[in-house]
Amino acid sequence: MAAIGVLTLELRVECSHSLKEKRHVVQSLKDRLRHKFNVAVAEIDHQDLWQRATLAAVTVSSDRGIAEKTLLGVEEEAASMAGGALVGTSVEWIE
């Protein structure tokens, strides 16, 4: 059975002064995570706020251990790119 992992990333984009600036920051992070880890990434909440964003990264694998490593890598990369802007994370599993 496939393991589906959903990593939720809560961001505070303090440097943003408009939705356009926020979109630039969020899009850059989404693109980097997609290309580096081959995960699906989407902004799932706070689309209308300029200084908050909630992203979800999803991976599917036949082995939960591989999926866990992938999501851990995504979380570490997001933390290194976003720095203090990453204020919270959570992982959910669908099996």
Domains of the chain: 3-94 (3.30.70.1120)
Assigned token pair, 8: 């939720």
What is the three-class DSSP state of 84?
Answer: helix
Q: Kindly report, residue by residue over 37-89, the tens digit of the pLDDT.
A: 999 999 999 999 989 999 999 999 999 999 999 999 999 999 999 877 899 99
pLDDT of residue 15: 84
Which is nearest to 74 in space by CA: 14, 86, 63, 84? Answer: 86
CB 56 within 8 Å of CB 30 = no
CB 37 within 8 Å of CB 78 = no
> CB neighbours (10 Å) of residue 6?
17
Which amino acid is it at 37? F
